[in-house]
Amino acid sequence: MWLMYALLVPTLAVAAYGFYHRIKPWFVGKPLDRLDRPAQRIVRLLKLGLLQQKTIRERYAGFFHQMIFWGFIVLFIATTVVLIDYDFQVPIMRGAFYLYFQSFFVDVLGLLFLVGIALAGWRRWWFRPPALVYTKEASLILALLFVIGATGFLIEGWRIAATNDPWGAWSPVGNVIAKISRPLFSEDALLILHRSFWWLHMGTTFAFLAWAPYTKMAHVLLSPANIYLGNLDPIGGSLKPVDFESSEIFGVNSLAQFTWKDLADLDACTECGRCTASCPANNSGKPLSPRDIILDLQKLSRRGEPQAPLIGATVSLSSESLWNCTTCAACVEACPVSIEQLPKIIDLRRHLVMDQAEFPEMMQDALGSLENRGHPFRGTQATRLDWVGDLDIPEWGEGQTYDVLYWVGCAGALVERNQKTVRATAQLLKTAGVRFAILGRDEKCTGDLARRIGNEFLFETVAKENIERLQSLGVTKVVTSCPHCFNTFANEYPRLGGAFEVQHHSVFLADLVRNGRLKPSRAIEETVTFHDPCYLGRHNGEYDAPRELVQISIGKDPIEMPRSRERSFCCGGGGGLSFVEEPTDQRVSHRRAAEAVESGADTVAVGCPFCMTMLEDAVNAKSGDRPVKVKDVAEILWQAVNQQA
Amino acid sequence: MNIVVCLKQVLDPEIPARDFKINKERREAERGSANLVTSIFCANALETALQFRDIHGGKITVLTYGTVAAEDVLRKAIALKADDAVLVLNDQSSSPDPLQVASVLAAAIKKIDAVNLILVGRESADWGAGQTGGLVAEILGLPCLAFVDHIDLVDGSLRIRRQTETGRDVYMATPPIVLTITNDDHNLPRVPKTKDVMLSSRKPITKWSLTDLGIEPTPGYLKVAELGIPEKNTMCEFVDGETLDDKVATLARKIADVIQG
Ligand code: SF4
Ligand code: SF4
């Protein structure tokens, strides 16, 4: 017995040193407050940690992870109980508790644990999905866990056999082993087997304990910690501001320029690959893998060179990879342990744009136009008022008051196809009797594009101008047609002093219908599927309002694509990518369009001008002979409301 | 090498054509909502100079003749790391007269010390006369090569590549020389680093008046007599007729009518 404790001390010391080694690199990071709002954090930990709400989204892996997870916890409790009872001589292993919990329940959970490990091994060695990282470490972890579980059952069985335990039947697995073993071995042999396997069991357990913190198994402690410390705000608000006054370097190109939380993220990674499996850029064959970004940064972090340049250090950190990110946040949403891949990608892009002035030419053109002309559509022949035509819409002048400012957005006003959407929206607002106005020619880009590409300086400049202008006009409520504009107003302007009440047109229109101010008069005979825009859905959690509009307009629920709501697949247009020519065989939009066409719907409904342009081309290319249309939810509603349309 | 790059501020030529308006009375373009930007070939000239300096070193002075607003063009050039900036103030309205502009630029270049390479855009994005470079060379008594898209330094001589209708010419030249620069894949204007943009507002700009240069404001040699936007009318007419022969005959008659006016 004393020998076991003598071994436990160095084991724990090695493990503790391992953890220390994992945590030490975090301290080079910059400060960030992630201990606020403890109540919300605990709820988050319970949901994502204890209830495993994200791992279970993936059926097979979620299933076996639950088995291993609960098996691990229960076995851990059981071992502690033995420790307290046996070694500290506190008699708690008694009576019903002993039988129901310590014998029966633990036995069943132990079995689930073993089956879970087997299923994990089956996936790793047989199915070999590309999402996983195939290392010797990962294989050895599974093997060790299996040995620990299996030897645990063997010693239990042999104990029952050797002592003729009258309560043996309460441990079903142990009992079966006892029944098989009794005719095979003598009592002495059983004792020897028990004793030697006990040492094997303890030896492997200790070895595992000591080694785990150096491996991805550290996630058993680091992941729950990371979930607790995760971002509580909408994903759309998770980009950090840049301090232009005092920083010498803009963006991030070394570990020390990240915050401590960014560095903690790296160590929480379980290598599960869910992020990369859901990444649209990766899915369409481009060299971007959020998992590899995290794991490569983790390796660099452990190497202990916090000042070494990151960009270009590995394939995943090369600029070719970083410029493929559509900022869709599928990775952030998928990660079961609350790692934030996207803000790190933007941090690195900021460095490329602001410090090295090196980024794709077409993005340079778009930002150049944004700077000179207030919109990114270089060479457009449209003006901001073209869509208005014969509609009588007031422009908000000095000294006037309206209830709502309709923020049309550059993509809404200047791209011909989207002019129909904003026209429909304005007509709906008029029909409902909303007192609204537009800025007309004075409207300027919100700056979203500059921010996602990485030019935070340009973003701040245009954002401040916009805020000042709206405040001087006395605007308090804004409705936008573009989820990107919405996100900027909702999550980014407040930090710069511009707090406006803002709604996406789908939400505002759904309210108007609910209040009876808009009455759909005929159901449209169409089947519709809805494509969630990333900046409305994942970035801001609004999934229902646009679906409600479709439901009201066609009299039935929209058809759901396999990937919808928080798992929706990007159109490929975010993050400045709609301004860049994608290689023909790697178009994100074509993959999404194929999915939309396969849903069988006559119409693909969208809620974003960028989704509209990306998907309309792609749907035309993918729909073959079947006519499939792309329409904004506002257009569909206007069709239902307006008799003549 | 001491390089002077002449820059011109123009009305953004990329605004939608329908937004482009003219003041017939004053015979000039109306600003409207258009922004003021650096004329594109001037930006190519600056980029060519920057690339030359990246390799061979030297000093770049950017020079413009314009209103106070033209300072912005110089600030943008400073953000791209031009070493010095000179603004010659023009308090009259924008003059399309290339000779007048060239004499001002030439006088300023004389005042800037020991210049041996002068780069000018091929033509401006507003009036597009394409004469300023040649006239500056004439006034300064320097040789001039036009439509240049690349310069290099070989054994102390300039190796100059210029575009022609059929291909490219390569010349060797001894500075000082004036070059007019055209665009090419290799001299697309670069974007500035943010730090440099922030610093650019602090750098002093030399401002000279015409008196500083000892120039009498001349009335200009060139006068715009009339200015208008060409109107294009398209008409579509379907030719009628009983038989194909009828239609062909009618069509032929109509064509003849148009030709004979
Ligand atoms: S934000 Fe989207 S595109 Fe970018 S890495 Fe994450 S999943 Fe991929
Ligand atoms: S970052 Fe998150 S989702 Fe991606 S591999 Fe790591 S744990 Fe899995």
**Cβ–Cβ contacts within 10 Å for residue A215, how many?**
16
Q: Residue A645: which pLDDT band, with cuts at 50, 70 and 90?
A: low
Backbone φ and ψ for A216, nearest 5 degrees, come out as -65, -15
pLDDT at B33: 80
Chains A–B, number of C-beta pairs less than 8 Å apart: 44
Query: Could you write out the DSSP letters of every residue in B84-123?
Result: EEEEEE--S-----HHHHHHHHHHHHHHSSS--EEEEESS
Pair A364, B191: CB distance under 8 Å: yes
pLDDT at B123 over 60: yes
pLDDT at B184: 94
Residue A372 touches chain B, beta carbons under 8 Å? yes
Q: Which amino acid is at B192?
A: P
pLDDT at A306 over 70: yes
Q: Lowest mean pLDDT of A13-22, A43-52, A165-174, name the range.
A: A165-174
Q: And the tokens for A346?
A: 């933007």
Which residue from A minimizes the CA distance to B194? A354
Q: And the tokens for A101?
A: 């919990």
Residues of A in contact with B18 (CB under 8 A): 381, 383
Overall size of chain B counted in residues: 261
Cα–Cα nearest to A30, from A246, A225, A180 = A246
pLDDT at A324: 97
Binding site membership of A341 for ligand 1 (Cβ less than 6 Å): yes
Residues of B in contact with A372 (CB under 8 A): 12, 35, 37
Greater confidence (A1 vs A640) lies with A640
pLDDT at B220: 74
Overall size of chain A counted in residues: 645
Cis peptide bond prior to B189, omega within 30° of 0: no
Greatest Cα pair distance, chain A, in angstroms, is: 100
pLDDT at B94 over 70: no
**Cβ–Cβ contacts within 10 Å for residue A404, how many?**
18
Mean pLDDT of A89-102: 77
Greater confidence (A101 vs A634) lies with A634
Residue B201 touches chain A, beta carbons under 8 Å? no
pLDDT at A151: 94
pLDDT at B135 over 80: yes
Q: Residue A462: which pLDDT band, with cuts at 50, 70 and 90?
A: very high
The C-alpha atoms of residue A377 and residue A444 are separated, in whole angstroms, by: 12
Which residue's C-alpha comes closest to atom 3 of ligand 2? A335
Mean pLDDT of A463-491: 97
Q: Residue A1: which pLDDT band, with cuts at 50, 70 and 90?
A: low
Gap from CA of A325 to ligand 2 centroid (Å): 16
Domains of chain A: 2-227 (1.20.950.20), 240-355 (1.10.1060.10), 366-514 (3.40.50), 528-642 (3.40.50)
**Cβ–Cβ contacts within 10 Å for residue B115, how many?**
22
Query: Could you write out the DSSP letters of every residue in A146-180?
Result: HHHHHHHHHHHHHHHHHHT-TTGGGSHHHHHHHHH
The alpha helices in A164-241, defined as continuous H runs, are: 172-181, 187-211, 219-228
Residues of A in contact with B195 (CB under 8 A): 250, 354-355
**Distance from A468 to chain B by nearest Cα, in Å?**
19
The DSSP symbol for A488 reads I
The DSSP symbol for A540 reads T
Q: Lowest mean pLDDT of A432-436, A450-454, A560-564, B237-241, name the range.
A: B237-241
pLDDT at B92 over 80: no
B5 in helix, strand or coil?
strand
Gap from CA of A328 to ligand 1 centroid (Å): 5
Gap from CA of A272 to ligand 2 centroid (Å): 5
* Inter-chain CB proximity A383 and B19 less than 8 Å: yes
The C-alpha atoms of residue A438 and residue A441 are separated, in whole angstroms, by: 9
Pocket probe mutation, ligand 1, options A235, A276, A288, max atoms within 8 Å of Cβ: A288
Query: Could you tell me which residues are beta bridge partners of residue B85?
Result: B62
The C-alpha atoms of residue A222 and residue A641 are separated, in whole angstroms, by: 54
Residue A247 touches chain B, beta carbons under 8 Å? no
Report the nearest atom of ligand 2 relative to the CA of A223.
7
Mean pLDDT of A264-286: 95
Residue B54 touches chain A, beta carbons under 8 Å? no
The alpha helices in A515-601, defined as continuous H runs, are: 544-554, 588-598
Residue B192 touches chain A, beta carbons under 8 Å? yes
Q: For residues A111-149, b (16+ Cβ closer than 10 Å) or e, as one string?
A: bbbbebbebbbebeeeeeeebbbeeeebeebbebbbbbb
**Distance from A315 to chain B by nearest Cα, in Å?**
25
Residues of B in contact with A244 (CB under 8 A): 194, 198
Residues of B in contact with A357 (CB under 8 A): 190-193
Mean pLDDT of A30-51: 94
Q: Closest CB to A355: pick one of B14, B188, B193.
A: B193
Which residue from B minimizes the CA distance to A379? B14
Greatest Cα pair distance, chain B, in angstroms, is: 81
The DSSP symbol for B231 reads P
Query: Could you write out the DSSP letters of every residue in A410-463?
Result: HHHHHSHHHHHHHHHHHHHHHHTT--EEB-GGG----SHHHHHHT-HHHHHHHH
Q: Lowest mean pLDDT of A27-31, A370-374, A564-568, B219-223, name the range.
A: B219-223
Residue B186 touches chain A, beta carbons under 8 Å? no
**Distance from B192 to chain A by nearest Cα, in Å?**
6
Q: Closest CB to B194: pick one of A373, A380, A457.
A: A457
pLDDT at A644: 59
Please state the pTM of the whole predicted model: 0.91
* Inter-chain CB proximity A457 and B18 less than 8 Å: no
pLDDT at A363: 96
**Distance from B219 to chain A by nearest Cα, in Å?**
33
Cα–Cα nearest to A454, from A637, A172, A239, A645 = A239
Q: What percent of chain A has pLDDT over 70?
A: 99
* Inter-chain CB proximity B33 and A361 less than 8 Å: no
Cα–Cα nearest to B108, from B212, B38, B192, B15 = B212
Gap from CA of A332 to ligand 2 centroid (Å): 9
Gap from CA of A294 to ligand 1 centroid (Å): 12
The DSSP symbol for A386 reads G
Gap from CA of A218 to ligand 2 centroid (Å): 14
Query: Could you tell me which residues are beta bridge partners of residue B59?
Result: B2
Residue A309 touches chain B, beta carbons under 8 Å? no
Residue A378 touches chain B, beta carbons under 8 Å? yes
Report the nearest atom of ligand 1 relative to the CA of A341.
6
* Inter-chain CB proximity B191 and A367 less than 8 Å: yes
Q: How many CA atoms lie within 13 A of A352 on its CB side?
A: 27
* Inter-chain CB proximity B188 and A361 less than 8 Å: yes
**A109: which residues sit within 8 A by CB, 6+ positions away?**
A70, A71, A74, A75
* Inter-chain CB proximity B35 and A381 less than 8 Å: no
Q: Residue A379: which pLDDT band, with cuts at 50, 70 and 90?
A: confident
**Distance from A552 to chain B by nearest Cα, in Å?**
39
* Tens of pLDDT, residues B194-234: 999 999 999 999 999 999 998 887 777 788 888 888 888 88
CATH numeric code, B2-213: 3.40.50.620
**Distance from B133 to chain A by nearest Cα, in Å?**
27
Could you identify the residue written with the tokens 């404790």?
A5
The C-alpha atoms of residue A635 and residue A641 are separated, in whole angstroms, by: 10
Q: Closest CB to B16: pick one of A250, A382, A457.
A: A382
Nearest-ligand number for the alpha carbon of A339? 2
* Tens of pLDDT, residues A227-261: 999 999 999 999 999 999 888 899 999 999 999 99
Q: Which of A244, A245, A372 is the best residue to mutate to test the B interface, defined by the most B CB atoms within 10 Å of its own CB?
A: A372
Q: For residues A233-243, b (16+ Cβ closer than 10 Å) or e, as one string?
A: ebbbbbbbebe
Pocket probe mutation, ligand 2, options A270, A276, A301, max atoms within 8 Å of Cβ: A270
Q: Residue B93: which pLDDT band, with cuts at 50, 70 and 90?
A: low
Whole-number mean pLDDT of chain A?
93
Pair A592, A615: CB distance under 8 Å: yes
Report the nearest atom of ligand 1 relative to the CA of A342.
1
* Inter-chain CB proximity A250 and B14 less than 8 Å: no
Mean pLDDT of A432-456: 96
Cα–Cα nearest to B105, from B134, B125, B72, B144 = B134
Pair A446, A463: CB distance under 8 Å: yes
pLDDT at A516: 93
pLDDT at A277 over 90: yes
Pair A417, A380: CB distance under 8 Å: no
Ligand 2 binding pocket, CB closer than 6 Å: A 269-275, 291, 294, 334-335, 337, 339
Residues of B in contact with A370 (CB under 8 A): none
Which bin fits A304, alpha (ψ -120 to 50), beta or left (φ > 0)? left
